[in-house]
Amino acid sequence: MTGLAPRLAEVVAPLIGDLPVRLRAWDGSEAGPEGAPVVELRSPAALRRLLWHPGELGAAQAYVTGEAEIPGDLGAALDALLAAGRAAGNGVRPRAEALARAARLARLPGLLGTPPEPPATQARVRGRLHTRARDRRSISHHYDLSNAFYGAILDESMAYSCGYFTDPGNDLEQAQRDKVALICAKLGLQRGDTLLDVGCGWGSLTLYAAQYVGARVVGVTISEEQRRFVQERIDVLGLGDRAEVRLCDYRDAEGGYDAVASVEMGEHVGERMYPTYARVLRERVRPGGRVLIQQMSRTGRHPGGGPFIESFIAPDMHMRPVGETVAHLERAGLEVRDVHALREHYVLTVDAWIVRFEERRDELTALVGEEMVRVWRLYLAGGAAAFRDGRMGVDQILSVRPGGAHGLPLERGW
C-alpha cells in the first residue's frame, strides 16, 4: 500500500477494525470502503491534534478549525464513527501493536512538536467550579454569542429548548407554543397568579405566561444579552405591568410565587450545587404551589455531554439519569407528581434547527465566523443523534410543595 491514508488505516485497525469511513489524506491517498461517508484530513495539523488528544476532543478540534472536513452528510459520518466506537467497546486500551505503528507514523514531517494551540472557539473558563463568577462566564460563552445568531436558528419566540409536537407534522413555531402552553397548564396558572421563571432564556415562557395567561411573571437570567432581549420584548408588547426580567443568579432570587418553572437550566448548575438549586425552587413557591422543571438526562461516564460539548458548548454542564434528578427534588422537600419523557420531541426540534441552520449558513458565518459555524454544525448533528439513539433524554418533572392545596386533578391529562 502506498500513500498516507492506508498507513493511517493500519494504525487504527487494532482498535476499531476496518475503517468505517472513506479516509482521504492530504497527500491525496484514500483508504476505507467505497461509498462510505468521506472524512478528509487536510493537513498534518489534523493528525497532530489526534496524536495529542486522541478520540473525540482531537477530532472535534481538527474539524472546527477546518484541518479535517466531512464533505458529505455529517450525521451519516458521525453515525459510522460512533458505531465503530461502540463495536470496539468503551474504555478500549491501545494495543502495543497500535502504539508502535502510531509512533512510526509520528515521525512523518509536521507531526512532531508541541501541542497545537486550542481553537479560538474552545471555552477558556477559569476559577472554582460553580462560583457565581464562573457560572456567569460559562453561561456567557454559550448564550451571549449573538442574539442575531440564535434568532436565525430558533423560532420566533427564541425558545432554545425542546418543543412539544402534538403532531409530527407541526412546524417549530407551533411546537414551541404548545410546549409553553403545556407548562402553564401543568402549573395550573390562572390570570393574576405569580410565576418565577428560573433561567428564563430569551423569555418564551415568561412572555407567553404574561401575554396569554395573564400571569405576573418574573424571569431571571445571568446572561446580559438575554436580559436585554427579553426587556425589549416586554416593552414592545406593553407587558411591563405583568412581566419583569432580572439579571440575577438563581441563588439570589427572592420572593414567594404561586408557581416556579425552570426550563433546561438545571443542567448548568452542576452536581455539587444541584441540592441548592432544588432547595431554591422549593423555597420560592408557596405551600401547595407547583414547580416544573424541563431538563435533559444522560447516563454513562460523561455527565457533561462528552469532551466536545464540555470544551466548546457548555463548560461545567452536568446531566444525570432522570431518576437521580427526581431524588434530588424529593430530598429538597418537593413531592414529585409527574414525569413526562419528551426525548422523541427533541429529535424533531433539533431537526428543525438544523434545517434553519443550513438554510442560513452564509448569514451565520458573516455573524460569528466560519469556525463557530463549524462548532455549531457538529453540535447540532451530534445532538440529533444522541436524542435519536437514546444516549440523552429530556423530561418535564412536575412537583408540588407540601403544606397546601395543590389543585391537581385525580386523572392525568392536561
Q: Which domains are present in the chain?
A: 4-105 (no CATH), 132-400 (3.40.50.150)
Question: The whole model's pTM is what?
Answer: 0.91
Instruction: Determine phi and psi for 297, rounding to 5 degrees.
Output: -125, 160
In the three-class reduction of DSSP (H, G, I as helix; E, B as strand; rest coil), residue 230 is classed as helix
What is the pLDDT confidence band of residue 342, given thresholds at 50, 70 and 90?
Answer: very high
Single-letter residue type at 69 = E
Question: Counting beta carbons within 10 angstroms of the beta carbon of residue 198, is it exposed (0 to 12), middle (13 to 18) or buried (19 or more)?
Answer: buried
- The CA distance from 192 to 203, in Å, is 19
Instruction: Determine phi and psi for 260, rounding to 5 degrees.
Output: -135, 135
- The CA distance from 175 to 127, in Å, is 39
Do residues 289 and 404 touch, judged by C-beta distance below 8 A?
yes
Q: What secondary structure letter does DSSP report for 250?
A: G
The rounded mean pLDDT for the chain is 90
DSSP assignment of 318-371: ----HHHHHHHHHHTT-EEEEEEE-HHHHHHHHHHHHHHHHHTHHHHHHHH-HH
Cα atoms in the 13 Å half-sphere on the side-chain side of 27:
14
* Lowest-confidence region among 12-21, 53-62, 161-170, 187-196: 12-21
- The cell numbers describing 373, all together, are 459555524
Output Rg (C-alpha) for the chain, integer angstroms.
Answer: 23
What is the pLDDT confidence band of residue 16, given thresholds at 50, 70 and 90?
Answer: low
- The CA distance from 28 to 40, in Å, is 9
- pLDDT score recorded for residue 14: 60
Query: Is the pLDDT confidence value at 251 over 60?
Result: yes
CA distances from 227 to 1, 43, 240, 245 (A): 59, 42, 14, 6
CA distances from 278 to 195, 196, 269, 271, 284 (A): 16, 14, 10, 11, 10
Q: What is the pLDDT of residues 76-110, one digit of tens each?
A: 999 988 887 676 654 444 455 555 555 566 566 65
Say which residue, 75 or 397, is predicted with more confidence. 397
Query: Is the pLDDT confidence value at 318 over 60?
Result: yes
Mean pLDDT of 332-346: 98
Q: Closest Cα partner for 301 from 91, 121, 11, 74?
A: 91
Sign of the torsion formed by the C-alpha atoms of 281, 282, 287 and 291: positive
Q: Closest Cα partner for 146 from 228, 221, 207, 205?
A: 228
For residue 298, what is the enclosing H or E element? strand 285-298
